[in-house]
Amino acid sequence: MGSYLVLIAPGDNDPEKIRFVRDRFAWLAFLFGPFWLLANRAWLAGFITLGVSIALGVAGYFESLSLGASAASLALNLLIGFEGREWKALAMERRGFTPDGVIVAPDLETAEAIYFSGRDEHPIFTGFAPGPAVKHGSMPSGIGLMDTYSAR
């Protein structure tokens, strides 16, 4: 089972523009790091991690720093793999997407079916405060890797 964060496009309630971001380790983000973030339009996180990756690459050329730079580079890519999807969701919120709930389902098709079947009758979470990324009040505790939503 996985959890999916549901994000509604700004100013548009078209079901085709609703995005589901799965909360799990992103292997492509781990392997390609900053480039995965940039491809997913998480510009701030992408450029920061690209700068850190370049600095670690330069530090790796010095023999005394090569082991530490390699370990730090691996740690950075692990961080991007674990947190990349959350950074992507936060970047989408900054672009105007509104979080509408968290769905727990085994796959994307089931998550979409659950979301669209209960969309008009009742909200997925009562007490969920959607809004811009800057104005989060009390949001439900996240499931898995996205539990920083409860810290806002």
Q: What is the pTM of this model?
A: 0.71
Which tens digit of pLDDT belongs to each residue from 10-44? 887 778 889 999 999 999 999 999 999 999 999 99
CA distance 1 to 38: 28
Going across the sheet that includes 2-8, the strands are: 19-23, 2-8, 98-105
Q: What is the pLDDT of residues 93-152, one digit of tens each?
A: 999 999 988 999 999 999 889 988 876 554 444 444 554 544 444 444 455 555 555 444
Residue 138 DSSP class: S
Q: Where are the domains of the chain?
A: 2-151
| Cα pseudo-dihedral 101, 98, 17, 36, rounded to 10 | -90
Expressed in angstroms, the distance from the first to the final Cα of the chain is 25
> Using one digit for the tens of pLDDT, what is the confidence trace for 35-87?
999 999 999 999 999 999 999 999 999 999 999 999 999 999 999 999 999 99
pLDDT at 121: 56
Helices (H) and strands (E) counted in the chain, each on its own, are 5, 3
- Taking the C-alpha atoms of residue 52 and residue 98, their distance in angstroms, rounded to an integer, is 30
